[in-house]
């Protein structure tokens, strides 16, 4: 049995799909920018210079326990010294695409460990220093997660529910 209005249905699918993917990318760019801002905040404390940290007895030394000396909360935040670590930060969005009926899109904030050889030591720790993973700490922050979920729900749900296709006969 022939389907009447098949061209209109195909046009609606194409129109919605392309517009939806563009919208998803815009939304993910905003979420990634927010994450980038959180990571920047957590890797650029300026309340102690290196000289002061040394005078305090190296508060991030593992001899002070798994969370170091209590200088600030959360403990995994990092003090900015030269700015080299901050300049090595990169962010972006990969996708979106639809594969097997699933929407795939990824926003990221990362460090270029080639430019900053000590980045891994800060995040994972080493034989003398506790790990301070400000990347995961930023993502796992409850306020950031709540803000992100709310933003995604509002911006994606409203777009889908607001879609106006062309009626078929």
Q: What is the pLDDT of residue 1?
A: 38
Mean pLDDT score, 17-23 = 75
Taking the alpha carbons at both ends of the chain, their separation in whole angstroms is 15
Residue 91 lies in a domain: yes
Domain hosting 133: range is 13-161
pLDDT tens per residue, range 117-145 = 999 999 999 989 999 999 999 999 999 99
Q: What is the pLDDT of residue 2?
A: 47
34 pLDDT tier (thresholds 50, 70, 90): very high
What domain count does the chain have? 1
Q: What is the pLDDT of residue 69?
A: 87
Nearest alpha carbon to residue 144 among 74, 96, 49 = 74
Residue 166 lies in a domain: no
Residue 169 lies in a domain: no
Nearest alpha carbon to residue 85 among 56, 48, 45 = 45
167 pLDDT tier (thresholds 50, 70, 90): low
- Could you please report the per-residue DSSP string of 110-133? EE-TTT-TTHHHHHH--SSB----
164 pLDDT tier (thresholds 50, 70, 90): low
Residue 6 lies in a domain: no
Is 3's pLDDT higher than 70? no
């Amino acid at each position: 049995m022939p389907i009447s209005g098949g061209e209109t249905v195909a046009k609606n699918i194409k129109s919605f799909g392309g517009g939806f993917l563009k919208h998803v990318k815009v939304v993910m760019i905003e979420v990634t920018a927010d994450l980038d801002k959180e990571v920047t905040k957590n890797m650029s404390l300026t309340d102690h210079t290196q000289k002061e940290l040394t005078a305090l007895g190296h508060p991030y030394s593992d001899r002070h326990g798994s969370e170091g000396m209590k200088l600030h909360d959360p403990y995994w935040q990092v003090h900015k010294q030269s700015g080299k670590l901050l300049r090595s930060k990169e962010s972006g969005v990969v996708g979106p695409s639809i594969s097997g009926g699933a929407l795939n899109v990824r926003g990221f904030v990362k460090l270029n460990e080639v430019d900053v050889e000590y980045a891994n030591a800060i995040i994972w720790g080493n034989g003398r220093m506790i790990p301070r993973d400000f990347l995961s700490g930023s993502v796992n922050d409850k306020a950031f997660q709540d803000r992100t979920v709310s933003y995604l729900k509002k911006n994606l749900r409203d777009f889908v529910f607001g879609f106006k296709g062309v009626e078929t006969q």
